[in-house]
Structure 1
Amino acid sequence: MRPLSEIDRGTLRRVRVVLADIDDTITSEGSLTAAAYMALENLHRAGFIVMPVTGRPAGWCDHIARMWPVDAVVGENGAFYFHYDRAAKKMHHHFWASVEERRKNRARLALIEREVLSEVPGSALASDQAYRVADLAIDFCEDVPPLSETDIDRIVAIFERHDAIAKVSSIHVNGWFGDYNKLSMAKIALADLFGLNWESARDTVVYVGDSPNDEPMFGAFPLSVGVANIHAFANRLKSKPAFVTAAHSGEGFAELATLLLNARNAA
């Protein structure tokens, strides 16, 4: 991972799309700072396509699509995208699985929930679980005392013995049934909403994240960026971001936004 300061201006000038994780990438220690929100707004006003790609739930994503300066949002690690048409005052939803498939998967996830909470002391349902439609989020440090790496691995193992997908974020272990991830739904959203062909557009996209559930995105884009706190998860990453910011979390996101905006203004 090279320092972001080493990136060449020509690479920055090609960027048209900014995809970003939320927790500990746009936010800092659970809060959305004024600087990070301003960075989002400045990118959006400058004409960049801005789309958060997050593990956060459908309930949050409805709010984000409506209220934040973004063009769309991918949620629950790729289970759906939401796009709010402000002119028509209409929310557009695209889900990976049907309503019936999600109902069946919810019953299977309920079994995993019981096993995790009984077998891993100190774990808890994520506080936003009530607003989820497709996955199960187990909290290991957001609203509970931090669990050990061993306990986190035990949570992942319980998901996997039920043939579920499990991904570790900076705060949760998220698990689901379905052959999707952040990348697969981001591709669909870019094509559906903006007419962007994946192969021709990938060099115009930057992705910024901070944890192992961002790994599909880090591996897919030539221009991938980790905020500085990515170093804490380096041992869990097979695909690392190409560049890393000097600053942590939301300040790192703002650092990237400033470079993008300066490159566009210079051009």
Structure 2
Amino acid sequence: MRALNELPRTVAAGMHTVFSDIDDTLTTDGQLVPQAYVALDTLRRAGLRVILITGRPAGWCDHIARMWPVDAVIGENGAFYYWHDPVERKLQCRHLLDTVARQTNTERLAAVRDTILREVPGCAVASDQFCRLYDLAIDFCEDVPALADADVDRIVALMEAAGMTAKVSSIHVNGWFGQYDKLSMAHLLMRERYGLELSREREKCMFVGDSPNDAPMFAYLPHAAGVANVAAFAGRMLHFPSYVAPSRGGAGFAEVAQALLTARQR
């Protein structure tokens, strides 16, 4: 990873889309900080497309798409995307699975949940599980004392043994039935909403993140950036961002946003 100030000005000035994770990227110690929220708004006002990509649930994404200064939000690690239609003035959503398929998976998720809670003492079902549609989120440090890496690995192994895709965020292990992820839904959203092929726009799209479930985006976008706390996952990620901000969490996101805005102004 290179320092953020090594991002070439011409590259930064050419960005048209900013993708960003939420937890520990826009937030700091679990709180959305003012400078990160202002940065989202400032990026949009400057003409950049702003799309959040998170492991957080559908219930959160409904609120975010309606009320935050963003163009869209991809939720539950790529299961759907929400956006607020300015013409029809209502929330819209694109799901990967229909209602019947989601209901079928609910029973399967419950069985895996019970196994994990029995086999990994100290973990818990995430507090936001009640508003999830696709996945199972197991808390290993948000509202419970932090578990050891070996316990987190055990949660991942149990999910995978049940045929699930499992991804580790900075606070949860998320598991779901299917092969989608943050990157696959980013491709779909860009194609369906904007008529753009992400494969052709990689040099003009920035992603900002902090944890292992962001690795597909880090690997695919050549100018992805991490906030400083991405370094905490040095031994748990296959792919790191090309650049890293000086500060952690929301302050780091604001630094990335400022680098893009300054380059455009010049």
**TM-score between both structures, scaled by the size of structure 1:** 0.98
Report what 1:157 is aligned to. 157
1:78-107: per-residue Cα shift (whole Å, max 9, x none)? 000001113322211111112111111111
Q: For structure 1, which segment, 187-196 or 122-131, has the greater mean C-alpha deviation from structure 2 after superposition?
A: 187-196
1:167-200: per-residue Cα shift (whole Å, max 9, x none)? 0000000000011000000111111111112222
Report what 2:177 is aligned to. 177
User: Amino acid of the residue matched to residue 119 of structure 1?
Assistant: E
Report what 1:194 is aligned to. 194
Determine the C-alpha separation between the residues in 1 that align with 2:138 and 2:125: 5
State the SS of the aligned residue for 1:235: coil
State the SS of the aligned residue for 2:203: helix
State the SS of the aligned residue for 1:208: strand
Q: For structure 1, which segment, 72-81 or 101-110, has the greater mean C-alpha deviation from structure 2 after superposition?
A: 101-110
Structure 1: segments with no counterpart, 5+ residues: none
Report what 2:206 is aligned to. 206
List aligned pairs for 1:133-144, cutoff 5 A. Answer: 133-144=133-144
State the SS of the aligned residue for 2:27: coil
State the SS of the aligned residue for 2:82: strand
State the SS of the aligned residue for 1:188: helix
Q: For structure 1, which segment, 192-201 or 255-264, has the greater mean C-alpha deviation from structure 2 after superposition?
A: 192-201
Sequence identity (%): 53
Q: For structure 1, which segment, 86-95 or 67-76, has the greater mean C-alpha deviation from structure 2 after superposition?
A: 86-95
Report what 1:88 is aligned to. 88
Report what 1:75 is aligned to. 75
List aligned pairs for 1:1-267, cutoff 5 A. Answer: 1-266=1-266
1:126-168: per-residue Cα shift (whole Å, max 9, x none)? 0000000000000000011100101101101110110100000
Determine the C-alpha separation between the residues in 1 that align with 2:216 and 2:101: 24
Determine the C-alpha separation between the residues in 1 that align with 2:181 and 2:174: 11
State the SS of the aligned residue for 2:225: strand
1:192-228: per-residue Cα shift (whole Å, max 9, x none)? 1111122221111000100000011001101111110
Determine the C-alpha separation between the residues in 1 that align with 2:104 and 2:33: 38
Determine the C-alpha separation between the residues in 2 that align with 1:198 and 1:26: 23
Determine the C-alpha separation between the residues in 1 that align with 2:87 and 2:35: 28
**1:237, CA displacement in angstroms?**
1.0
State the SS of the aligned residue for 2:78: coil
Determine the C-alpha separation between the residues in 2 that align with 1:14 and 1:100: 43
**1:14, CA displacement in angstroms?**
1.2
State the SS of the aligned residue for 1:236: coil
Determine the C-alpha separation between the residues in 1 that align with 2:113 and 2:80: 22
Structure 2: segments with no counterpart, 5+ residues: none
Q: After TM superposition, which residue ranges in structure 1, 4 or more long, deviate above 4 angstroms?
A: none
**TM-score between both structures, scaled by the size of structure 2:** 0.98
Determine the C-alpha separation between the residues in 2 that align with 1:223 and 1:217: 10
Q: For structure 1, which segment, 187-196 or 164-173, has the greater mean C-alpha deviation from structure 2 after superposition?
A: 187-196
User: Amino acid of the residue matched to residue 85 of structure 1?
Assistant: D
- What do you get for the CA RMSD once the two structures are aligned? 0.8
